[in-house]
């Protein structure tokens, strides 16, 4: 049986010092906060983690600290994202060297334009370079490259490609992929990548979500999944609506500065984002604080 990505996985931020280096002690505390909040896995070095702003050495340090701090309590996932196929493979090999990582998520390339054959070959080459479990990652709103459902269905036949994170924000796309993979009898599993659509994705057959908001509100986000699995659909839907203001609040600042500021408001050290991403204005911070208070996350 292949590995099954499931549950709520926080797309973990990378805490940084004022000088812009990775803050490992803060990372460890954040991991404990999220696991204590009931998340079902830890996802390091994804988009929310500002993967584009760390060096290969820092990338390895974050993975090593994550695996060590999680200490087997939940599965560990890691991103291996780059424009070039060879560079993504290099990151996969770093993850292999670290060990203790259950699955690797690979984002589509970005900046360049690709045909679907080229998209397929990118992911197939990465999968063939390793025995690690691979999760496809489509974030077309940011990369402007998508993995079309027919391409996903073809990639799902590769033995170690076990699932996909869909951050397109298009629930029709999510459903189409599930229909052409899981419902077609393939051992393949969809993870929702848009926090506002977790309930909808679960209804279509997704096995969970990778959620940036779970950094801040792990108990609330996890409750969407837990209640749904328990058959409490009304409770799951209510939790999804309760989470919505926090996801919408991402628009108050440049991503992922809102998440880091929210953690700081909760007394959890996160630090600044890497330049060129700046800080929120005083007015934006006040708006965010009020949202957290209204959601009963901040007292």
165 catalytic? Reply is: yes
Instruction: State percent of the chain over pLDDT 70.
Output: 100
135 occurs within a structural domain: yes
Tally of domains within the chain: 1
Q: What is the pLDDT of residues 42-60, one digit of tens each?
A: 999 999 999 999 999 999 9
220 occurs within a structural domain: yes
Average pLDDT, the chain: 97
Catalytic residue among 59, 77, 165, 228: 165
99 occurs within a structural domain: yes
CATH code, domain carrying 127:
3.20.20.70
Other beta carbons within 10 Å of 127: 23
201 occurs within a structural domain: yes
Rg (C-alpha) for the chain, rounded Å, is 18
298 occurs within a structural domain: no
Does position 223 have pLDDT exceeding 70, yes or no? yes
2 occurs within a structural domain: no
CB neighbour burial string for 27-40, b if at least 16 within 10 angstroms, e if fewer:
bbebbebbbebbbb
Instruction: Say which residues have a Cβ less than 8 Å from residue 278's Cβ, sequence separation at least 6.
Output: 254, 257
- Domain range for 120: 7-241
Annotated binding-site residues for pyruvate read 48, 210
Q: What is the pLDDT of residues 121-160, one digit of tens each?
A: 999 999 999 999 999 999 999 999 999 999 999 999 999 9
Residue 6 to residue 285: CA distance in whole angstroms: 33
Residue 254 to residue 279: CA distance in whole angstroms: 8
196 occurs within a structural domain: yes
Q: Categorize the per-residue pLDDT at 299 as very low, low, confident or very high, splitting at 50, 70 and 90.
A: confident
Q: Given this model, what pLDDT does residue 1 score?
A: 65
Q: Given this model, what pLDDT does residue 38 score?
A: 98
247 occurs within a structural domain: no
Catalytic residue among 59, 120, 137, 225: 137
């Amino acid at each position: 049986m292949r590995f099954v990505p499931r549950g709520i996985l926080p797309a973990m931020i990378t805490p940084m010092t004022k000088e812009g280096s990775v803050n490992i002690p803060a990372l460890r505390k954040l991991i404990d906060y999220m696991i204590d909040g009931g998340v079902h896995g830890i996802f390091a070095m994804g988009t929310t983690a500002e993967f584009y702003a760390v060096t290969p050495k820092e990338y390895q340090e974050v993975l090593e600290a994550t695996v060590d701090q999680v200490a087997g309590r939940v599965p560990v996932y890691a991103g291996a994202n780059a424009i070039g196929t060879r560079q993504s493979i290099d990151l996969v090999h770093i993850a292999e060297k670290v060990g203790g990582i259950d699955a690797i998520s690979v984002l589509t390339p970005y900046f360049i334009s690709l045909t679907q054959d080229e998209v397929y070959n990118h992911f197939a080459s990465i999968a063939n370079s390793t025995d690690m479990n691979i999760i496809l990652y489509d974030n077309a709103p940011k990369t402007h490259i998508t993995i079309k459902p027919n391409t996903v269905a073809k990639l799902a036949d590769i033995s170690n490609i076990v699932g996909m994170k869909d951050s397109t924000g298009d629930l029709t796309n999510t459903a189409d992929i599930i229909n052409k993979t899981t419902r077609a009898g393939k051992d393949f599993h969809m993870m929702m990548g848009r926090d506002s659509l977790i309930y909808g994705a679960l209804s279509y057959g997704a096995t969970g979500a990778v959620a940036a908001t779970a950094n801040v509100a792990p108990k609330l986000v996890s409750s969407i999944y837990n209640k749904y699995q328990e058959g409490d659909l009304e409770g799951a839907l209510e939790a999804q609506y309760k989470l919505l203001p926090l996801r919408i609040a991402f628009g108050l600042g440049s991503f992922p500065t809102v998440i880091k500021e929210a953690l700081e408001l909760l007394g959890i050290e996160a630090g600044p984002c890497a330049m060129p991403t700046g800080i929120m204005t005083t007015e934006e911070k006040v708006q965010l604080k009020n949202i957290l208070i209204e959601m009963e996350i901040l007292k």
